[in-house]
Amino acid sequence: MHEVMTAFPNLTALRAASPAELGLVALRGVARSEDTVHGQGQTLNWMSRKTLVDDILTGVASAADAPVAAEAVAWILNHGLLAEAYDSATQGWLFTTRLGRDVLASAPTAPAGLAASLRAVDLIPVAMRSSVTPALLTGHFDLAVTAACKAVEVRMRERAALPTSDFGGRLARKFFAAARTSSLGRPDRPGIKDEQHLFEGIFGLYRDRAVHESPHIDSPEYALEVIIAVSHLLRIVDAAEFDP
């Protein structure tokens, strides 16, 4: 595989690569092959697990290093970057998934914590996934959290018909001032005020973490904890009711 030979020009480099590093390089090779045959009006119908392992080793290593390549293939399959076709004509052939394409577009190399970030993707609400995932996959965890907060702000403005000039704590105060009920469905002003304070607190702590001097979010696990908390704000926004 050309991509593997370019990234790992000798056996020492190949053996030293992590499954994630080698796997992403192999994934790029599969995607290139798909693009080539699709451009010719054909389907990539020869790439099985075994042929992918063989292709990774071609020109770089021997069959004795098959476990190294097999680990890389297992890594990209286990993380949903490749999948097996299911129809009778192509059953068992591998193809690059939509997530795999997103990863290739976002993460040209394998940043630290990529495996944890990939596990986190399925936990991110669809409404914020497209804005959060690229930063998460490239290891820009502060930016991923900021993107999650801004996705909530977009929904708040839509629900309460508020201008784009409002953001952060000011947006939270205006949103909940306009809300007729809390997320529990009751005209409970103390409850609405508690929800407002929750939004103000999370926005104040995390919305612009990347530009503040406060400690940065330095791991995918930390980022996911905050993103899950921010995603709960979406539920509150969607549950709020407003007068016509």
Q: What tokens does 106 get?
A: 């976002």
Last residue in a domain, options 57, 81, 108: 108
Q: What tokens does 140 get?
A: 């820009």
For the chain, helix (H) and strand (E) counts, in that order, are: 12, 4
Neighbours of 116 (CB within 10 A): 14
> Do 63 and 55 contact (CB within 8 A), yes or no?
no
**For residues 84 and 47, what is the distance between their CA atoms, to the nearest angstrom?**
10
Find the CATH number of the domain harbouring 63: 1.10.10
Helix (H, G, I), strand (E, B) or coil at 241: strand
pLDDT given for residue 30 in this prediction: 87
**For residues 226 and 234, what is the distance between their CA atoms, to the nearest angstrom?**
13
Residues 84 and 137 in one domain: no
Q: What is the mean pLDDT of residues 148-157?
A: 94
- In whole angstroms, how far apart are CA 169 and each of 87, 156, 182? 52, 12, 18
Confidence category of residue 44, pLDDT binned at 50, 70, 90: low
pLDDT at 88 over 60: no
What angle separates helix 98-106 from helix 126-137, to the nearest 10 degrees?
Answer: 40
Asked whether residue 114 is domain-assigned, the answer is no
> Do 95 and 83 contact (CB within 8 A), yes or no?
yes
Last residue in a domain, options 45, 80, 108: 108
Write out pLDDT tens, residues 60-70: 767 778 888 89
Q: What tokens does 85 get?
A: 């076709």
Q: What is the mean pLDDT of residues 187-212?
A: 81
What is the length of the chain?
244
Last residue in a domain, options 108, 135, 170: 108
**For residues 163 and 166, what is the distance between their CA atoms, to the nearest angstrom?**
6
Q: What is the mean pLDDT of residues 74-84?
A: 87
pLDDT at 149 over 90: yes
Asked whether residue 113 is domain-assigned, the answer is no
Name 13's Cβ contacts closer than 8 Å, sequence gap at least 6. 7
Name the strand (E) or helix (H) holding 242.
Answer: strand 241-242
Residues 217 and 174 in one domain: yes
**For residues 112 and 120, what is the distance between their CA atoms, to the nearest angstrom?**
14
Domain hosting residue 174, numbered range: 121-242
